[in-house]
Amino acid sequence: MKAVGWLLWLAVSAAAIGCGGGPADGESDAGERLQVGRMLSGGDDAEAFAQASVPRQFRFPEDHGQHPAFRSEWWYLTFTLESSHPPVSAEFRASETPTRPSGRAGLREFGVQFTLFRQALFPGGDPADPWRNGQAYLAHFALTDVQAGTHRHAERLARGHPELAGVEVADGRATAWLEGWRLVMAEEDWMLRAADDGIAVDLAMRPEKGIVPQGDGGLSAKGPGEASHYYSAPRLRTRGHVEIDGQRHPVTGWGWLDREWSTSALSPEQVGWDWFALMLDSGEDVMAFRLRRRDGARDPYDHGAWIDASGAARFLSASDFRLTPIGHWQDDEDRRWPTRWRLAVGERRFEIAAALSDQRMDTLLTYWEGLVRVTDAQGRDAGRGYMELTGY
């Protein structure tokens, strides 16, 4: 389950960009926009859209593209990067193995998040008509500079139109764009470019482990009758540049893609979630997803995946892992964000800590999304990853 795409219908309506229809009674209030559980419920028109109810055999590049029969979906990328000395060449070298910051002089650590959300504003849009296709798009772009202690983010919103925003599949590749922000996914070589107000990225990626279906054959259940189609590309070999206030840094590292689409995801008892994508130095990867209930009880639909170095994945049920918050950061609105955790997967023990405490996304819906460091049971450096916290 990734990010906050389910608020997009409300966000577009509130922004009054003329895509048709207004918010339902009471939904235009800013306070309502902060209620994650409400945004992720099925809604009154859910039956008019397709439902995720059975496992799916993914096909590519088609499934890198959009699925407008479903109400919502997102393309979600995170990166753990370091500056590279000397600068990498312009030609991509598949043998280039990214290293990770370990305190050596001259290395600089960065985190990057890019998410594109698609939301159907109403069922039955005309895909052939660029003004009446019924789609709207919201994108978030963030860059964390650990050594400088900064986390900067940007947000863009547009209706679906060839000149504004959209997703298409052609010539063996999927291309997603919102104005000048652009993501391309082909069989092997992928690309991301985004820039806004002093920050920019230009990154080339190559999937190292292929595609991992999440849940039951790509069907990720969140509750009775609540599910999504969900897959990940957990280890993207990455190189390129990040730019901050005119300073261009060559970088190498790893990326993680999450793709998800559905029509409803959270039940009324669920108020948000805590999500982790961890890339370990051992070559193993972990996705852990913890739903948060109003009553504070453990949700039986918590789940995850353990992916070995070869790319073979093992589904994790709620009984296979445990996440325990052990440290918090309080923001200027007195929200307490759990930014330090213990993770137990079978006999394996890890500690997860935010690389910077303040990696809050102060966008249409406030959430925390940022770079984390992983240590093992002996306190040794064990990896890097990303964490998302919603509903706080």
Which band of pLDDT confidence, cut at 50, 70 and 90, is reported for residue 269?
A: confident
Torsion of CA 43, 48, 54, 60, to 10 degrees: -110
pLDDT 10s digits, 293-329: 888 889 999 999 999 999 999 999 999 999 999 999 9
Q: How far is it, in rounded angstroms, from Cα 139 to Cα 119?
A: 11
pLDDT for 114: 98
* 346 phi-psi bin (left φ>0, alpha ψ -120 to 50, beta other): left
> Who contacts 72 (Cβ-Cβ below 8 Å, separation ≥6)?
5, 6, 8, 117, 118, 119, 120, 261, 262, 263
Amino acid at site 29: D
| Token pair belonging to 385 | 């990853």
Which band of pLDDT confidence, cut at 50, 70 and 90, is reported for residue 277?
A: very high
Query: Which alpha helices (DSSP H) does 69-122 contain, by range?
Result: none
Q: How far is it, in rounded angstroms, from Cα 282 to Cα 291?
A: 27
Please say if the pLDDT value at position 365 is more than 80: yes
Which band of pLDDT confidence, cut at 50, 70 and 90, is reported for residue 130?
A: confident
Range among 23-37, 91-105, 230-244 rated most confident: 230-244
Instruction: Decide: 232 and 287 in contact? Cβ < 8 Å.
Output: yes
Instruction: Decide: 377 and 357 in contact? Cβ < 8 Å.
Output: no
| Token pair belonging to 279 | 């890339």
| Token pair belonging to 378 | 């002996």
Instruction: Decide: 304 and 287 in contact? Cβ < 8 Å.
Output: yes
* 265 phi-psi bin (left φ>0, alpha ψ -120 to 50, beta other): alpha
Share of the chain above pLDDT 70, in %: 82
Q: How far is it, in rounded angstroms, from Cα 12 to Cα 17?
A: 7
pLDDT for 44: 58
Query: pTM score, two decimals?
Result: 0.86
Q: What is the three-class DSSP state of 348?
A: strand
- 354 — phi, psi (to 5°)? -60, 135
The DSSP symbol for 11 reads H
- The residue-averaged pLDDT of 236-253 equals 95
Q: Which residue has the higher pLDDT, 299 or 10?
A: 299
pLDDT for 26: 33
Instruction: Decide: 38 and 6 in contact? Cβ < 8 Å.
Output: no
Q: Are strands 270-280 and 336-345 parallel, antiparallel or unpaired?
A: unpaired
Q: Are strands 173-178 and 72-83 parallel, antiparallel or unpaired?
A: unpaired
Mean pLDDT of the chain: 84
pLDDT for 45: 67
Q: What is the three-class DSSP state of 90?
A: coil
Instruction: Decide: 99 and 166 in contact? Cβ < 8 Å.
Output: no
253 Cα distance to chain centroid = 17
C-alpha angle with apex 186: 167 to 246, nearest 5 degrees? 75
pLDDT for 99: 43
- Nearest CA to 291 among 370, 367, 351, 222? 222
- The residue-averaged pLDDT of 34-42 equals 46
Q: How far is it, in rounded angstroms, from Cα 111 to Cα 361?
A: 14
Q: Which CATH number fits domain 5-389: 2.40.370.10, 3.40.50.2300, 1.10.260.40, 2.60.40.10?
A: 2.40.370.10
- The residue-averaged pLDDT of 332-357 equals 96
Strand partners of residue 276: 288, 387
| Token pair belonging to 192 | 């991301």
Strand partners of residue 257: 77, 233
Of the candidate ranges 2-6, 22-26, 150-154, 289-293, the one whose mean pLDDT is the lowest = 22-26
303 Cα distance to chain centroid = 16
Number of helices followed by number of strands (H, E) in the chain? 3, 23
Which band of pLDDT confidence, cut at 50, 70 and 90, is reported for residue 265?
A: low
